[in-house]
Structure 1
Amino acid sequence: MGFKDQLSRALAFYDEVLRLPHRGEIKRELRDENDIFYLLSFSEMLGLPNPVSYYTLELYPEMVEEFHEWHLRMGMEKSPLDGIRCC
């Protein structure tokens, strides 16, 4: 094993040690960001005007698969949208 390999392994270990305590925080931030994105994307169906609905229209088929998990996380027992039945 050469010096470069040992150095790269040491740097990777150091990086992992620094990230470890913040992993939960990073996951929470990503989940919150995802929740806000879903709220903005489906806001028009909930009765709120959405200024970017034209740009998010082609994302709906991808997002419908995860919609069930999102509305449960938001505290809604059943789907609030008539067009999307997931429960």
Structure 2
Amino acid sequence: MGIRDRLKAFSDGLTEYYAGPYRATFVKARQQEDDLFMMLVMSEALGVPNPASYYTLELLPIVYEDFHAWHRRMGMEHSPLENIQCC
């Protein structure tokens, strides 16, 4: 085992030591940011005025894949949109 391997292992250990206890917090914060982003992109379709709808319209094909998981996390049993039937 070379010095680079030892330094990498030491660095990985330090990262795990410092970031490990907060991993769940980081995951939850990331999910909340993703949910807010999804709401902003889908706001026009949900009936909420969005001044940036011209720019978010381009992102719709990307967020369609995650739409089902998002509306389930938001507590909606079925899709709130008539033109997106994912359930």
2:6 is aligned with 1:3 = no
Rounded to whole Å, the distance in 2 between the matches of 1:4 and 1:52 is 48
Gaps of 5+ in 1: none
SS in structure 2 of the partner of residue 44 of structure 1: helix
Which residues of 2 match residues 50-61 of structure 1 at below 5 A? 50-61=50-61
Taking structure 1 as the reference length, the TM-score comes to 0.90
Query: How much has 1:31 moved relative to structure 2?
Result: 0.3
CA distance in 2, matches of 1:46, 1:11: 46
Q: Measure, in 1, the Cα distance between the counterparts of 2:4 and 2:46.
A: 56
- List aligned pairs for 1:26-65, cutoff 5 A: 26-65=26-65
Distance 1:57 1:46 in 2: 13
- Greater shift in the superposed pair: 58-67 or 20-29: 58-67
Alignment pair present for 1:17 and 2:17: yes
Q: Distance in 2 between matches of 1:54 and 1:75?
A: 28
Would you say how many aligned residue pairs link Structure 1 and Structure 2? Answer: 87
Give CA-to-partner distance per residue, 1:6-26, whole Å, 9 cap, x none: 223212211111111111000
**Distance (whole Å) between structure 2 residues aligned to residue 37 and residue 9 of structure 1:** 36
SS class of match (1:86): coil
| Sequence identity (%) | 48
Distance 1:78 1:4 in 2: 52
Q: Which runs of 5+ in 2 are unaligned?
A: none
What is the match of residue 74 of structure 1? 74
